Amino acid sequence: MSTATATPTSTARDHAIGTSAPRPDGIPKVKGEFVFSSDLWAEGMLWAHIVRSPHPSARIVSVDLSAAYKIEGVRAIISQDDVPGKKIFGLEHPDQPVFADGVVRFFGEAICAIAADHPETARRAGEAIVVVYDVLEPLVDPELAITADPIHPDGNVFRHLVIRHGDQSAVGEVQVEGTYEVGMQDQAFMGPESGLAIPDADGQGVELYVSTQWLHSDLWQTAACLGLPDEKVRLTLSGVGGAFGGREDVSMHIYLSLLALRTGRPVKIVYSRLESFLGHVHRHPARMWFRHHATRDGRIVKVEARIVLDGGAYASTSSAVVTNAACFATGPYKVPSATIDGWAVRTNNPSCGAMRGFGAVQTCFGHESQMDKLADALGMDPIELRRINAMASGDTLITGQVVTGALPTREVIDALANHPLPTDTRTTDDMMARPGGAGRTADAAHVRRGVGFAVGWKNLMFADGFDDYSTAACSIDRGVVSIKCACAEVGQGFVTLVQQIVRTEFGIDDIIIEPADTTIGSAGSTSASRQTWMSGGAVKGACEAARTTLLKRLAIAHNVNIEALELVDGRVRSLDGSVDLSLAEATETPVRELLEFHHAPTFPLDEHGQGNAHVSFAVAAHRAVVDVDIDLGLLRVVEMATAQDVGRVLNPLQVLGQLEGGTAQGVGLAVMEEIILHGGKVRNASFTDYLIPTALDMPNVVIAGLIEQPEPGAPYGAKGVGEPPTISSTPAISSAVRVATGLGLPRVPIRPQDIVGC
């Protein structure tokens, strides 16, 4: 037997669950050595380019490839006729042709794809392709789409979700009503869509290296369109440059695979930023009407709402987004009666789908605007109105579901409300402290400060009866623990969590995280704030299973009772001292266990929108301090403070990063981010014209409280923390600007003309 000493455990303890363990990919990322999907390279590879429609609605009359084929270096051009398998794809409801099938339904829809020896050759070939279109009038109004002639065989309504809860005839002594609008936001992840496909030598399969949120969903959709069995298509996660929902759908996967199979050579693609804006789904624009009913002392009696989400040309996750928008439309408040109609509809606008917050962002802007309006009508402090209506564990959702887990809404509100406000810098000489900065002419006397408060929530994990699971394997070989899981690390830090779990479960620091690929079962999507719970749960469960297998084996080998054995700090010991082995000694014969982790089942909503459709919920609140130059309509967000229901903090630094980053995306939606459409055409598909917050725009984010009430059923009690910060940040800002200006501001993003044009 080896005489190896115990593995040092201090690092393992220092970087276990609950600590700010460093990212394992941090060092390669700061050195520029981390391999993103756009960094891939293969000997003899070709470059792909996609020809896209310049019209949002058209019939394709003819496509002439002859001039393109004459360009030296062009190896293949493919279109819908070259798709050997299923002709359509889609994340939840396949309804999108791989390439436009005689009809174009959105600006930027793929017409054909080219492989050539140089990206410039491929681009020029694209310009040489002559497509003749019969241009049609696009359907761009989502309200009209509900009753308009269908623009797709599946119709124009992705889902009409009806929620009827409580007493439908209930009427409040006080009523407030409002109509609200949210613009189309883009995920604007930094790493553009990109990937590399390598054909098998026999031409019967393909290796695909991509950045994605869900490898297996990509696999299933891609293999079906290629007409290949799943095992002939293998996906490996490449470095992902952010996602935020925009990589949940298939983008270039099928095109690259088809071109690789056609040419017999590796094929790479890297989208330009323009193409990225056209090539992925966005956050649904929303039009919403609300009427809140309350008693004179401020108790909500009933909420009525009508929500119309513009899903664009193809389904993506529209039906799930509108389900969320409707289910969470009344906020984390006790609402005994509700009448909600949510629509997600098809238009000739760009397709919309997942983005951080997933439907809850849009309705939070509505319900929080309404809460302010109700407080005003009641003559009540808006924070107090939220406090007295705050939902808690044991209360009932408007879907009839009773919350059984933690829901510390009031604790979140109180932590934030009690946090001190920043000092008022409006009258200082520091011009940079004013809206617009030193280059502007803000008159300090005309700068008004507003403070706004908003509370938001959403569900964690997939819902509505979806069988949501993750798979992980844990191997221990001579003391080294290897974890395999197809969970997509998109920047959130799942790889850090894996190491923290292994250190916590085994007390060792020799950890290998194997590549995320499709040689193991699905981990589900990196979305819905679900991976810490789901893939964290799968990894933890696999570790526990491996431990049990190992201890059983050692119990037999050493003739002791398994209950007498413990694995702590990297050593296996028996209570009587007869067994004392390092983990390396104990696993000279390796162990490996695979585990599939499912959360508690959910059920589809019934025809009245009632049912136990959700697993768990998380609440966050934001307080925004905003200075407004009422002459120029310029805003400066001075400070964002937040409190959040987190279950349990597993990594303080990573939680902080999620809260700051998520808040920033909400700031962007409040004051600058919107995809501008004109007749269905995207007019600002660049970072020159689609603005996201810079280091000069972002205020400090102050954490007023992390409310830790461990969530039953969640590994280590932790709730996902990624989405809640993006939900309430936007309405907190709009509320602050209303306070500063006295304007109604029913739409985000708030533009200068919304302030000075009134």
Residue 121 contacts other proteins per CB under 8 A: yes
Q: From the list 78, 309, 390, 664, which residue makes contact with other proteins (rule: CB under 8 A)?
A: 664
Let me know: does 388 contact 298? Beta carbons within 8 Å. Answer: yes
Residue 155: CA atoms inside 13 Å, Cβ hemisphere, count?
A: 8
Task: Out of 201, 202, 696, 753, point to the residue binding other proteins (CB under 8 A).
Answer: 696
Q: Which of 259, 236, 207 is nearest to 84 (CA)?
A: 259
Pick from 239, 285, 609, 749 the residue near other proteins by CB under 8 A. 239
Using CB under 8 A, which of 4, 8, 18, 22 touches other proteins? Answer: 22
Give the three-class secondary structure for 175: strand
- Of 44, 149, 695, 753, the residue at the interface with other proteins (CB under 8 A) is 695
Where are the alpha helices (H) located in 54-200, listed in sequence order? 66-69, 119-128, 142-145
Q: Say whether residue 700 binds other proteins (CB under 8 A).
A: yes
Q: Does 18 bind other proteins (CB under 8 A)?
A: no
Please provide residue 440's backbone torsions phi and psi, each rounded to the nearest 5 degrees.
-105, 180
Tell me which of 43, 72, 576, 607 binds other proteins, using CB under 8 A. Answer: 72
Fill in the amino acid letter for 236: T
Residue 189 contacts other proteins per CB under 8 A: yes
Residue 628 or 637: the one with the smaller Cβ distance to other proteins is: 637
Could you tell me the smallest distance in angstroms from the CB atom of residue 654 to other proteins?
A: 7
- Provide the β-strand partners of residue 134: 59
Write the binding mask 242 to 271 for other proteins: x where contact by CB under 8 A, - elsewhere. Answer: xxx-------------------------x-
Q: Are 220 and 59 in contact (CB under 8 A)?
A: no
440 binds other proteins (CB under 8 A): no
Look at strands 511-513 and 480-485 and give their pairing.
parallel
| Count of C-beta atoms within a 10 Å radius of residue 18 | 15
Q: Which two tokens stand for residue 435?
A: 């809206």
One character per residue 480-509, x = contact with other proteins (rule: CB under 8 A): ----------xxxx----------------
Give whole-number Cα distances, 379 to 316, 372, 374, 511, in Å.
43, 10, 8, 59
Burial of 429 from C-beta contacts in 10 A (0-12 / 13-18 / 19+): exposed
The single-letter DSSP state of residue 699 is P
Strand 194-199 relative to strand 267-270, pairing: antiparallel
Segment near other proteins (CB under 8 A); pick from 23-31, 135-143, 171-179, 597-605 = 23-31
Among 735, 730, 740, residue whose Cα is nearest residue 633: 740
Which of 19, 20, 179, 549 is in the footprint of other proteins by CB under 8 A? 20
CB of 192 or CB of 537, closer to other proteins: 192
3 state SS of 558? coil
Minimum CB separation of residue 114 from other proteins in Å reads: 14
The answer to whether residue 422 forms part of the interface with other proteins (CB under 8 A) is no
* 428: contact with other proteins by CB under 8 A: no
Q: Please, which residues have CB within 8 angstroms of residue 559's CB and are 6 or more apart in sequence?
A: none
Between 382-389 and 360-378, two packed helices, what is the crossing angle to 10 degrees? 110
CA 504 to CA 18: how far, in whole Å? Answer: 10
Q: Is 661 in the site for other proteins (CB under 8 A)?
A: yes
Q: Judged by CB under 8 A, which stretch of 16-24, 50-58, 365-373, 557-565 contacts other proteins?
A: 16-24
Which residues 668-687 are close enough to bind other proteins by CB under 8 A? Answer: 686-687
| Near other proteins by CB under 8 A: residue from 174, 555, 653, 756 | 653
Q: Using the rule CB under 8 A, is 221 a contact of other proteins?
A: no
Q: Would you count residue 26 as binding other proteins (CB under 8 A)?
A: yes
Rg of the chain's alpha carbons, rounded to an integer? 27
Q: Is 757 in the site for other proteins (CB under 8 A)?
A: no
272 binds other proteins (CB under 8 A): yes
Name the minimum Å distance from CB 322 to other proteins.
26
Tell whether residue 118 is a contact of other proteins (CB under 8 A).
yes
Residue 273 within binding range of other proteins, rule CB under 8 A = yes
Order of strands across the sheet with 447-460? Answer: 447-460, 616-629, 634-645, 700-707
Q: What backbone torsions phi and psi does residue 454 show, to the nearest 5 degrees?
A: -150, 150
Cβ count within 10 A of residue 150: 12
- Residue 643 found at the interface with other proteins (CB under 8 A): no
Asked if residue 35 binds other proteins (CB under 8 A), the reply is yes
Q: Which residues bind other proteins (CB under 8 A)?
A: 20, 22-23, 25-27, 29-36, 38-39, 41, 72-73, 117-121, 187-192, 239-244, 270, 272-273, 432, 490-493, 653-654, 656-657, 660-665, 667, 686-688, 692-696, 698, 700-701
